[in-house]
Structure 1
Amino acid sequence: MLRTPARRTPRKTPAKKRQPTPPMTRGNMQVRVVTLAFLVALVFVVLGGRLWYLQILTGETLSLSARATHTKEVKIPAQRGVIYDRDGEVLASNVPGMNVTVIPDMISREKLRELARILEADVESVMERYDAAMDPQTGNRYGAMLVKENADKDDVTYIMERTEEFPGVAVNDDWVRRYPHGSLAAHVLGYTGAITPEELEREPFKGLPNDSVVGKSGVELVYEKALQGEPGVKRYNVDALGRVVTVRNADGTRADGRPEVAPELLPPDSKEDPVPGKNLVLTLDLELQRVAERELEAAIARARQEGHSGEGGAVVAMDPRNGEILALASRPAFDPQLFVGGISGPEEAETFEYLNSELANSPFTNRAIAGAYPGASTFKVFTGLAGFFFGVIDANTTVTDNGGCWRPAGASGCWLSWRQTYGTGSTHGTQNYAQAIMDSNDKFFYQVADWIWQRTDDPNALPNFYKRFGFGSLTGIDLPGETPGRVPTKEWFESYQKEVYGYLERPWGIGDWVNLAIGQGDLLVSPIQMAQAYAAVYNNGTLVTPHVGKAIRDQDGELVRKIDPKPEGRIEFDPEARRELLEGLSMVTGPDGTAAPAFEDSELRILGKSGTGERGNKDPVNWFAGWAAGHEDRPLVVVVMVEGGGHSEVTAAPAVRRILEAYYGVKTGPTAVEQAAGSYAGSAPSD
């Protein structure tokens, strides 16, 4: 039988007594007080440091920022300086217009592209400026950026009705450029346009705002600092929403019950007046410029009527005493008004596309200073002077052309005269220097080069003599894009061969000098260089610096600066050499001269030299350089170059005659040459 064990009654554990909290001791109290004091002190140190940073270190910056937040600035445009001709005729001025700007930071790229399209601005150019402005390193995302200059009124109205769609946009009354004579003197004046990011990085544009309109070419660029005015500013105190600061109701309306108006419609709180640009007076004679361009076009037309390409040309008419340019023309040309406001609309875009095509033949190139061509027979003048300088010829030295091949001493080859190559096949006979100039006798100048070569050990003696007249270097004219041309030397020739062939194909020799002697070979000269050199012949050795700027004046007409560059140098002439040269130049236009048909009826006695330069497979380049005798009180050296012409006495020479006749007030009918070509331009006297 199983027995159930007896249950045990569990013992009750006595409950623990709650220990009383020990009383706060003096030491504990001190620890707590010190800790609290430390924390409070730490808070005050942080606050004090922050206040010191805000008020001392960045106080000025934050103050300016705060003021900018509550100050609205509106630009007051400054007029660009006016450009005048020498007699006060306006060549470039300003008219009121509207420019649209935008703050890049306030508008998205997509919205800006849409805005540019609406305004018919150059979208790619606008986006390029936007990207540059948004560059975190070099950009100015908070400054106004030009979107469209001279915007259309209807387009502006459309934009201003949708300001919420295009944040940051502003329309400013401004001045826009006006060229009242169209393409006349376009290559001298140049044109203006919106500043580019690249231009902002270099002189003379550094420091200008993003919405500036600046000179891009011609004197607009060269005299940018003088022409560019300083805009003023009107400042308005506004609230954070751009409204007039005044007492307002809870709903934002004015407490005085007046209607809300734009701050710009009220007097500004402060104002800085704009400073207009200075005016530029040019050396150009507007009427003579018209004649020069008209005669150049007629010369090109005659070249085409002869069956030649007549690609273009240039005219330089210069005072040989001081280098002042009275007319400078280049063809083909362009109308600088095309660029005012940027290329916009299908018609302007089509015109711009054509001007940049091969068919247009580089109308933006100023052929008067940037064109480089063989100097041709116009260059023979300087070879003859070299003969006198090196003592190998004098006034009585003659060379006989019997119609056969001419070759340098000890050399092979066959050099013929132009009479045998292109003319009737007749010979020049026996001629001295003056007669050789009159008849453009190649063989005379071949021989001069050969005689100099035999007398010197310097392979660059003849090229260096040409350089004394400014060939092969910049003339220093105050227009951008000038070419130095080229006078080949032994060093240049060897370097060129190695660059082209990788080795020295042949040595520099007498054959190169012979080609140089008649303005051919590797020689390249510009019309402005030819004018400078012929001016030195006229003025007996002063190498003047050509220039188109005459004076800078302020808005009251007061002279700020006279533009009168010093001559580049001085050339000493053998009196006998110059006397013989002037005789030869006089005979060129006489009854037996090469240019006789172009001058036979003129009342003026014109001295000059023609030239027809070979250009490989292209049509030749025509030259004529000369002046009218007996006008020492008002001298004028004129150079005409026709690119792709036939014979210079048909193209360039009549143009020189007409320009000189117009300048001196001589009226005559068309020459036989012009009658045959049917291209008499009918130049009117300029004064």
Structure 2
Amino acid sequence: MTRVDAKRRNETRRDRRPDGKRDPKSAITQAGIQVRVVALATVVAAVFVTLGFRLWYLQVITSEDSALSAHASSTRATDLPPERGVIYDRNGKVLANNVPGLNVTIVPNAIPREKVEELTGILGADEEAVLAQYDAAFSSGNQYSPMLVKENATREDVMYVSERTEEFKGLVVNEDYVRNYPENSLASHVLGYTGAVTPEELGGGGIYEGLEQAAVVGKGGIELAYEDVLRGTPGRKEYNVDALGREVEVRMADGSRYDGRDEEIPEQGEPARVTEPVPGKDVVLTVDVELQKTAEKELDAALLRAQENGYAGSGGALIAMDPRNGEILASTSRPDFDPQLFVGGITGAEEVEQFDYLNSEYANAPFSNRAIAGTYPAASTFKVFTGMAGLVSGVIDAATAVTDTGECWRPGGATGGCWQSWRENGGYGTHGTQNYAEALMDSNNKFFYEVADRIWNATDDEDWLPKFYERFGFGSLTGIDLPGEAAGRVPTREWQEEAGGTSEDKLWTVGRWVNMAIGQGDLLATPAQLIRGYAAIENGGTLVTPHVAKEIRDQSGRTVEKIEPEPAARSDVSASALEETKDGLRKVTEEGGTAEWPFEGSRLPMLGKTGTGELTGGRFVNWYVGWAETEGRPLIVLAMVEDGGAFEEGSEVTAAPAVRHVIEAFYGMEQSPDDPFRTAEAPLDTAGGTS
């Protein structure tokens, strides 16, 4: 045994009593107990400190966030729709406002689908649209938010369903404002219309994103373009609810109300909190109501003249614009519609029948704004841009003359093909020898064929002429503040190669330039583009941005924003080229000009251009665009008639008289007794133009 082992055995013996048991006092000393107590106390203190800190953090540091979170989980909110802004004409005439009405909404979660279907029948609502919105509310998790069933419901229908709230649970009737168009269909394409927001619009990520299902929004025209301005800011009604979405009430163990009353949806009771809505701002238009009325009457008269001559006269457009700044004083499109039809939804047999007709092929697309969305061959109105291209490129000057002998015209070096002018085609003889101004006066196709051919041979850039047309905004959006604008088309070599169906169709030749030079071929323009191009001739070369909104005002009538869009570009055409072009446009309404007849007896110095373009199926589009050279405020006017006549029954019979009468009315001129198309329209009291 080692000395260490012996020592351990002796110590063990000392720890034992005589009876052999270990001494308990020797196992845990007093000092050891104290150490353990201190350790335990430290652990307990640490736990309490941690709990205390956490309690302090929740109650002091994050108390506001916690309160908001708790509040959100115990409230349900619905939007209070704001009163929509009013739309005025430039002189303060109301074009769209609001009148008191009754809107019926439901909370989808509170009413079965079959009852919603029954409710739409009673209220005359659009069953398909309402049920689609009802289904979408569940799929999107919005079944607790009110959704619109019927806007502007009749008081009789409201009284009927209100007396049957037990049958139609979740139904709420709100006294609200509904849209009103006091001038009915006047300027309908400019104004647009309103309607209930759809599930697709709510989920589309656009301007309707985040709105309530019961929202009424702009669907076209100014109502849509300035939706964010007109709409205003919704208010809120907040209702206290429990975790199950029920009214906060004293309840029995089984969850039923302690007072024994039937369960009601919170929205039918008094809200806990209300935030009032902020009305939308008002929009003042550049449009003048009285000139707009004249424009619409004159366009209707133009269509009637086409029909009296045996043509369809199926549609058209008329625009009156200030060439200095692009303000649209009148804009109309035919056929049109009454925006009041959409207020309250399409209901009743008569409204449904009317709506179905408007959407049929027989109605000829009345919801299309032809002034900005219709694309047509610009025909002879386009010759001014080809002429200026010739002047700018240097292939012609003001004295350059081209002789028409009646023979087929062909591009230089060509042996096939035959390009004739309207005179030969109509049996009216030849143009003879004419310079640029005279060619505009007589709308000489062959002169402008020659210009296009000379430019083709003078440049290596086969897109030079299309690029020149683009200087005047053709092939691009004008930027007008209305939805649905079309860009038109200026064909180029690249476009032709992509669009051509065969190898021959893909060829980009001088022949395509020649057709384009007189506004035919594959070139397409909108009325808005064409009037802007002519405005650049009148104003010295500035490509203005057309617009129909003038300013935005708050509810006190204070102007908060003036709408004055910057010009899009400069055409970079010399003053001499513009003046030589105007010289030709003056001759158009004088003796020997294509518009001599319709401007007979006019006391205003008129200038402009006629145009008759070929559509498919042997149909024609008639154009006239022009203005009066006066010391008063300038106004340029364009009229377009679909399915009008040709030759002597074309633009000089349909479009030109309409433009004349609108210009004369604007300047307060009475129609001359020598006017062959006199409509006896009273002049406007404008003293040289509206404000």
The aligned counterpart of 1:600 is 600
The aligned counterpart of 2:289 is 286
Amino acid at match of 1:551: E
Deviation at 1:167, TM superposition (A): 1.5
Would the aligned equivalents of 1:318 and 1:327 in 2 still touch at CA under 8 Å? yes
**In 2, Cα distance between equivalents of 1:413 and 1:406:** 8
The aligned counterpart of 1:195 is 197
Q: Secondary structure at the match of 2:284?
A: strand
Q: Secondary structure at the match of 1:560?
A: strand
Would the aligned equivalents of 1:659 and 1:683 in 2 still touch at CA under 8 Å? no
The aligned counterpart of 1:39 is none
**In 1, Cα distance between equivalents of 2:674 and 2:148:** 54
Map 1:508-547 → 2, pairs under 5 A: 508-547=508-547
**In 2, Cα distance between equivalents of 1:581 and 1:251:** 89
- Percent identity reads 57
**In 1, Cα distance between equivalents of 2:407 and 2:538:** 36
**In 2, Cα distance between equivalents of 1:75 and 1:446:** 64
**In 2, Cα distance between equivalents of 1:491 and 1:408:** 22
Would the aligned equivalents of 2:170 and 2:265 in 1 still touch at CA under 8 Å? no
**In 1, Cα distance between equivalents of 2:198 and 2:238:** 27
The aligned counterpart of 2:25 is none
The aligned counterpart of 1:35 is none
The aligned counterpart of 1:120 is 124
Q: Secondary structure at the match of 2:201?
A: helix
**In 2, Cα distance between equivalents of 1:310 and 1:621:** 9
**In 2, Cα distance between equivalents of 1:279 and 1:105:** 37
Deviation at 1:96, TM superposition (A): 0.6
2:143 aligns with one of 133, 141, 147: 141
**In 1, Cα distance between equivalents of 2:482 and 2:235:** 30
Say if 2:330 is the partner of 1:327.
yes
- Higher mean C-alpha displacement, 223-232 vs 169-178: 223-232
Deviation at 1:353, TM superposition (A): 0.5
Say if 2:417 is the partner of 1:410.
no
2:111 aligns with one of 103, 107, 116: 107
Deviation at 1:582, TM superposition (A): 0.9
The aligned counterpart of 1:16 is none
**In 1, Cα distance between equivalents of 2:104 and 2:270:** 22
The aligned counterpart of 2:561 is 561
**In 1, Cα distance between equivalents of 2:269 and 2:422:** 79
Q: Secondary structure at the match of 2:394?
A: coil
Q: Secondary structure at the match of 1:617?
A: helix
RMSD: 3.0
1:497-526 Cα distance to aligned partner (Å, 9 max, x none)? 1xx34x454511011011011110011000
**In 2, Cα distance between equivalents of 1:377 and 1:492:** 23
Map 1:214-229 → 2, pairs under 5 A: 214-229=217-232
Would the aligned equivalents of 1:82 and 1:93 in 2 still touch at CA under 8 Å? yes
Would the aligned equivalents of 1:294 and 1:681 in 2 still touch at CA under 8 Å? no
**In 2, Cα distance between equivalents of 1:236 and 1:428:** 82
Say if 2:303 is the partner of 1:300.
yes
Would the aligned equivalents of 1:620 and 1:644 in 2 still touch at CA under 8 Å? yes
Structure 2 unaligned spans of 5+: 1-50, 687-691
Deviation at 1:119, TM superposition (A): 1.0
Change (3 A) 1:509 1:686: farther
The aligned counterpart of 1:609 is 609
Query: How high is the TM-score relative to the length of structure 1?
Result: 0.85
Amino acid at match of 2:71: L
Would the aligned equivalents of 1:667 and 1:685 in 2 still touch at CA under 8 Å? no
1:312 aligns with one of 312, 315, 338: 315
**In 2, Cα distance between equivalents of 1:379 and 1:542:** 18
Would the aligned equivalents of 2:602 and 2:672 in 1 still touch at CA under 8 Å? no
**In 2, Cα distance between equivalents of 1:76 and 1:485:** 43
The aligned counterpart of 1:14 is none
Deviation at 1:233, TM superposition (A): 3.5
The aligned counterpart of 2:95 is 91
Change (3 A) 1:217 1:144: same
Change (3 A) 1:114 1:674: same
Question: What is the count of residue pairs matched by the alignment?
Answer: 620
2:391 aligns with one of 384, 388, 391: 388
Change (3 A) 1:265 1:490: closer
**In 2, Cα distance between equivalents of 1:215 and 1:681:** 38
The aligned counterpart of 1:165 is 167
Deviation at 1:246, TM superposition (A): 11
Say if 2:456 is the partner of 1:447.
no
The aligned counterpart of 2:489 is 486
Change (3 A) 1:505 1:230: closer
The aligned counterpart of 1:6 is none
Q: Secondary structure at the match of 1:596?
A: coil
The aligned counterpart of 1:15 is none
**In 1, Cα distance between equivalents of 2:680 and 2:143:** 55
The aligned counterpart of 1:653 is 656
Amino acid at match of 1:168: G
**In 2, Cα distance between equivalents of 1:62 and 1:372:** 56
Change (3 A) 1:683 1:486: farther
Would the aligned equivalents of 2:74 and 2:241 in 1 still touch at CA under 8 Å? no
Query: How high is the TM-score relative to the length of structure 2?
Result: 0.85
Map 1:71-86 → 2, pairs under 5 A: 76-86=80-90
1:436 aligns with one of 433, 436, 439: 439
The aligned counterpart of 2:71 is 64
Amino acid at match of 1:535: A
Change (3 A) 1:355 1:520: same
**In 2, Cα distance between equivalents of 1:495 and 1:74:** 53
Amino acid at match of 1:611: G
**In 1, Cα distance between equivalents of 2:685 and 2:376:** 30
Change (3 A) 1:100 1:215: same
The aligned counterpart of 2:26 is none
Say if 2:98 is the partner of 1:130.
no
Amino acid at match of 1:175: Y
1:405-464 Cα distance to aligned partner (Å, 9 max, x none)? 11111112111110010242x111110000000000111000000100111111111111
The aligned counterpart of 1:174 is 176
Would the aligned equivalents of 1:401 and 1:443 in 2 still touch at CA under 8 Å? yes
Would the aligned equivalents of 2:172 and 2:267 in 1 still touch at CA under 8 Å? no
Deviation at 1:232, TM superposition (A): 2.4
Deviation at 1:106, TM superposition (A): 1.5
The aligned counterpart of 1:348 is 351
Change (3 A) 1:141 1:504: farther
**In 1, Cα distance between equivalents of 2:114 and 2:191:** 37
**In 1, Cα distance between equivalents of 2:442 and 2:69:** 82
The aligned counterpart of 2:689 is none
The aligned counterpart of 1:663 is 666
The aligned counterpart of 2:363 is 360
The aligned counterpart of 1:552 is 552
Deviation at 1:234, TM superposition (A): 4.6
Deviation at 1:574, TM superposition (A): 2.3
- Higher mean C-alpha displacement, 350-359 vs 152-161: 152-161
**In 1, Cα distance between equivalents of 2:71 and 2:600:** 78
Deviation at 1:243, TM superposition (A): 8.3
**In 1, Cα distance between equivalents of 2:237 and 2:142:** 21
Change (3 A) 1:387 1:238: closer
1:625-668 Cα distance to aligned partner (Å, 9 max, x none)? 0000023x411110100011111000000000000000000002
Structure 1 unaligned spans of 5+: 1-47, 255-260
Deviation at 1:600, TM superposition (A): 1.2
Deviation at 1:67, TM superposition (A): 3.3
Q: Secondary structure at the match of 2:437?
A: helix
Say if 2:634 is the partner of 1:635.
yes
1:562-592 Cα distance to aligned partner (Å, 9 max, x none)? 1111000011222332222111101100121
The aligned counterpart of 1:42 is none
Would the aligned equivalents of 2:298 and 2:661 in 1 still touch at CA under 8 Å? yes
The aligned counterpart of 2:16 is none
**In 1, Cα distance between equivalents of 2:265 and 2:486:** 54
Deviation at 1:223, TM superposition (A): 0.3
Q: Secondary structure at the match of 2:598?
A: helix
Would the aligned equivalents of 1:598 and 1:671 in 2 still touch at CA under 8 Å? no
**In 2, Cα distance between equivalents of 1:192 and 1:648:** 36
Amino acid at match of 1:595: A
Q: Secondary structure at the match of 1:598?
A: coil
